[in-house]
Amino acid sequence: MSDENKTPEEQPASVNPETEAAAAQPEAAEEAGIDPIEVLQAENADLKDRALRTMAEMENLRRRTEKEIKDARQYAVSGFARDMLTVSDNLRRAMDALPDEDRKNADAGIASLIEGVEMIERDLLNQLEKNGVKKLNPEGQKFDPNFHQAMFEVPNTEVPNNTVVQVVQAGYVIGERVLRPAMVGVSKGGPKEVAQPQATAEGAGQTVDKSA
């Protein structure tokens, strides 16, 4: 009777080659004079090591994915925020173009208009800050090329060299990235800055990413 015509009970059971090899390995080890228990222990240690490596890789993948999602949410508004800064700049220029004398002598209607424009500017900056955009106030600080763009030098012997003494245009950051560097004037001709010990990672603060 051929195998095709045999009933399922009469057909030989199929054997998994890997299972057969694993079952035969201790016997082969025993025939070779090797303790089969040691062979099984070595296999167990290898499987455990592979499992731990797989778990570590999955954990790293999870962390990377979480960071990518967080960054996508945080920096998704970068382009829009940069455009809104242009609107804020124009509002500020409009206010600065109004002489103080005219502001003091303005009638009730003009005074209300001025107050309204200032409120719009403040509200715009507040909304940007709620979305992670913060304004830089570098005046009096040491010039930092990560945050500032030097436009000119100002002779000043009263402050150390490379101190920001004038802010031409405010700078902004979003999260850990520079959205727009502050355009500044720096001092020249003052005393040299005393060398400071190298900052630790904790004291140095956040790393700035200029890719925004």
Mean pLDDT for the stretch of residues 25-47: 75
Domain-located, residue 34: yes
| Winning range, highest mean pLDDT, from 31-45, 47-61, 92-106 | 47-61
Domain-located, residue 71: yes
Mean pLDDT for the stretch of residues 173-198: 79
Helix segments in the chain, DSSP class H: 17-31, 36-75, 78-96, 100-104, 108-130, 201-204
Cross-strand bridge partners of residue 186 = 153, 164
| Winning range, highest mean pLDDT, from 21-25, 79-83, 140-144 | 140-144
**Where does a domain end: 9, 41, 75?**
75
For residue 27, the model assigns a pLDDT of 60
For residue 25, the model assigns a pLDDT of 57
For residue 145, the model assigns a pLDDT of 93
Considering only residues 150 and 106, tell me which one the structure prediction assigns the higher pLDDT: 150
Mean pLDDT for the stretch of residues 51-55: 92
Q: Roughly what angle, to the nearest 10 degrees, separates helices 17-31 and 36-75?
A: 140
pLDDT band at 92, cuts 50/70/90? Answer: confident
For residue 6, the model assigns a pLDDT of 52
Nearest to 74 by CA among 191, 199, 209: 209
pLDDT of 205 over the 50 cut: no
For residue 67, the model assigns a pLDDT of 83
In degrees rounded to 5, what are phi and psi of residue 178? -80, 120
Mean pLDDT for the stretch of residues 40-66: 90
Considering only residues 203 and 95, tell me which one the structure prediction assigns the higher pLDDT: 95
Q: Which of 2-6, 95-99, 100-104, 161-165 has the lowest mean pLDDT?
A: 2-6
Q: Order across the sheet with 177-180: list the strands.
A: 133-136, 171-174, 177-180
Which distant-in-sequence residues (6+ apart) come within 8 Å of 205 by Cβ? none
* Total number of domains constituting the chain: 2
Residue range of the domain that includes 180: 133-193
CATH of the domain at 166: 2.30.22.10
Domain-located, residue 21: no
For residue 78, the model assigns a pLDDT of 86
Q: pLDDT tens digits for 152-179? A: 999 988 889 899 999 999 999 998 889 9
Nearest to 190 by CA among 147, 145, 154: 154
Domain-located, residue 98: no
Nearest to 177 by CA among 153, 136, 203, 211: 211
Domain-located, residue 107: no
Domain-located, residue 106: no
**How far out from the chain centre does Cα 110 lie?**
44
pLDDT band at 199, cuts 50/70/90? Answer: very low
Domain-located, residue 170: yes
Tokens of 18: 């890997």
Domain-located, residue 150: yes
